[in-house]
Amino acid sequence: MRRWAAVIAVATAALAVSPGCSSDKEGSGTEDAVEVTPAECFLDGDCPSGKCIDGQCVSLPGWDAGTDDTTGGPDTLAQDIVVGSDAEDAPGDVPPEPEVVQQQDGSGKPQGGQPDIMVDPLSYMFTYVPGVNNPEIKAVTIYNEGTGTLLINEIKWATGSSSEFTFMALPPLPAQLGAFQQTAVTVVFKEKSPHGPGKLLIASNDLDEPEVLVEFTSQSKVGDQPCIGLSPTILNFGQVVRGETKALPFTLSNCSGTLPLKVSKITRSKGFFGMELTDEFQIVPAPATPMVLSANQTVDYEVTYTPGLAGADSGDFEFHNNDPTASIAKLHVQGVGVPPPLEDIGIHIELDWDKDSCDVDLHLVRPGGTLFDCESDCYYANMNPDWGVQGSYLDDPFLDYDDVDGYGPENTNLSEPIPGTYLVTMHYYNDSYEGWSGGATNATVRVYSYGNLIGTFGPTLLQNTDKTWDVCKIQWPGAGITELGNIYEAPTQPACFPW
């Protein structure tokens, strides 16, 4: 920068004393003086015997446009795209050379002011993709946020940088960026041994920040230990109609290039109340464990989700293995079961009540069953019993939601009822919730068959905890309905939870 200041000072002085630059003949001291307009320029190379300063050629004694070794004359302003020195490190297709644009104002002159360099990103991690040996690339963008011309003099790897990082493409150096213009550097990463970080150094004429360092790292595990890979690590099934099946793929891989990966077992995570991930989620085909994957081996699987209930389901498949950094790798799965359309449901029962801070429960008892029985009563503690043909969900009822703090609704659905007489009962489980008293409440029940409302019962007053209301009987087939209306005390029985 001191050399540039000296050149500008000399040029300014030369312009100030040169009589040939004056348009005032009388003031020039000679009748032969004529008006001379300095030639406009863009680069020093536009001036055959001088420097390009503020868009105009300034003649300097002894100046040779092709020999300046400090700023780089025309001979150094055009360089080819630089490709990584190791030919096998670069992908086959080299992108076009980044364009460097000089910002100009209406006069065609470079804008004045100070340059201000900004580089994005300042750090970047190449995420290691197991089983993929192709190079990965990342573009680093260099911006000029100032109003003066930014001169990028040098782009190189700092001492100690890993050879895993090389250049695919560089702009011609030295590069000139006008105000608010940009260019880019393309960095290539390819796993090698030993691996480590790399630091990209960018030097410019920004006085406040003459050197910028961009730090590169990777998740590479070059053959130094067993390595498990799951891709993706999260499977989100979204909404799936109860009883239907949706499948999503994932890949299990050994991301070590030299050592075998041993998966000893696959377990299901435990969530609330110690419950395991539901078997509504299945890995297909079912992996046989223990299993061994050779170096760089990958295996493709699917996870299927077949919700038996309406509501959210989630958890993890846990892969126990010999990767010391991830001895239990987790594949997270999640989905939401939703009820089928009412038009597809043989018996749909809906309950609501008119008080907050209280809990009323809906019970559907199968033919020949009894209230609170863990096999024949579908309610909050037995939300999806297996009725009819074992393993078939169509003849099994399901309670889609247990509302414990007021109003409802609670809905029980039975798509294809087995023949017989079903009992619909309401039980006032608790007339308060977390210290708040709901007191007496009025409950209402509606019964639908294939989308048609076949009966409405209530509102019926339930005065306190354990009040029980036998609402109606439903005869199947035919959906014949008989109102009962019995109200009595029925203390809560032990829950049927399987844990």
The type of residue at 78 is A
Query: Does 342-489 match 87-218 at the fold level?
Result: no
AA identity, residue 106: G
Per-residue burial over 146-182, b if 16 or more Cβ lie within 10 Å, else e, is: bebbbbbeebebeeebbbbbbbbbbbbbbbbbbbebb
DSSP string, 269-326: -B-GGGPBPPTTEEEESPPPSSEEE-TT-EEEEEEEE--SSSEEEEEEEEEEES-TT-
pLDDT value at residue 93: 45
Note whether 194 and 222 are within 8 A (CB).
Answer: yes
Residue among 378, 158, 383 at smallest CA distance from 275: 383
Q: Tell me which fold the domain 342-489 belongs to.
A: Lipoxygenase-1 (2.60.60)
Distance of CA 277 to the CA centre of its chain: 24
In this prediction, residue 449 carries a pLDDT of: 97
Predicted local confidence at residue 220, as pLDDT? 64
- Integer Cα distance of 30 and 351 in angstroms: 110
Determine the pLDDT at residue 293: 96
Quick one: pLDDT at residue 467? 94
Q: How far apart are CA 331 and CA 263, in angstroms?
A: 14
CA-derived radius of gyration, the chain: 39
CATH of domain 87-218: 2.60.40.10
Which pLDDT does position 129 carry in this prediction?
A: 56
Q: Using one digit for the tens of pLDDT, what is the confidence trace for 352-406?
A: 988 888 889 999 999 999 999 989 999 988 888 999 888 788 899 988 866 656 6
Residue 368 has which token pair? 């020949």
What confidence score (pLDDT) does residue 373 get? Answer: 92
Give the pLDDT score at 58.
56
**pLDDT at site 109:** 38
CATH architecture of 228-338: Sandwich (2.60)
pLDDT digits (tens, 9 = 90+) for 10-61: 333 333 333 333 334 333 333 343 334 456 665 666 666 555 665 666 554 4
| Phi, psi torsion values for 76, nearest 5 degrees | -110, 0
Q: Which two tokens stand for residue 321?
A: 């293995």
List strand residue ranges (DSSP E) for 309-407, in order: 311-321, 328-338, 347-353, 359-365, 377-378, 398-399
Among candidate residues 114, 170, 116, the one with its CA nearest the CA of residue 143: 116
Per-residue pLDDT of the chain (499 residues; tens, 9 = 90+): 333 333 333 333 333 333 333 334 333 333 343 334 456 665 666 666 555 665 666 554 444 434 333 333 333 333 333 333 333 344 444 444 444 444 444 433 344 689 999 999 999 988 765 545 567 899 999 999 999 999 999 999 999 898 889 999 999 999 999 999 999 999 998 877 667 889 999 999 999 999 999 999 887 655 467 889 999 999 999 999 988 899 999 999 998 878 899 999 999 998 766 678 999 999 999 999 999 999 889 999 999 999 977 788 999 999 999 998 889 999 999 999 988 899 999 999 999 988 888 889 999 999 999 999 989 999 988 888 999 888 788 899 988 866 656 677 889 999 999 999 999 999 999 888 776 677 899 999 999 999 999 999 999 999 999 999 999 999 999 999 999 999 999 988 877 755 4
Q: Where are the domains of the chain?
A: 2-76, 87-218, 228-338, 342-489
DSSP state of 391: T
